[in-house]
Amino acid sequence: MRFRPTAKDRPVDWVDLAALIITGTASLPGAACTSRPDLFDPESTDEYVIAEALTLCHKSCPVLKQCREWDAAQPKSRQLYGVTAGRYRPQPRTRKASA
């Protein structure tokens, strides 16, 4: 039996993959968050880190308005958790399976 490659067996085209990843990503040159990415971890529940991220957005981000417009335009399926556009959106809690 001879091997016949299918579409899923093709080598990864890294350019196409990168384009898929960044599709829909905001282009906001000068955004304050780019200087402190450590504060914008969507899984963080540390109140100090969240407060620092919110303060950075509100006090020193020159593109906060554009960021909020971008965030508001995202469908629910693409909403980001953590601090985004000067607002905190916690991750939904997962329900534990009952025994």
pTM greater than 0.75 = no
Residue 65's pLDDT band (cuts 50, 70, 90): very high
Look at residue 28 in the predicted model and tell me its pLDDT: 86
18-61 pLDDT per residue, tens = 665 566 677 888 999 988 989 998 888 899 999 999 999 999 99
Q: Is the pLDDT of residue 6 over 80?
A: no
Q: Using H for helix, E for strand and C for coil, what is the string for the chain?
A: CCCCCCHHHCCCCHHHHHHHHHCCCCCCCCCHHHHCHHHHCCCCCCHHHHHHHHHHHHHHCCCHHHHHHHHHCCCHHHCCCEEECCEEECCCCCCCCCC
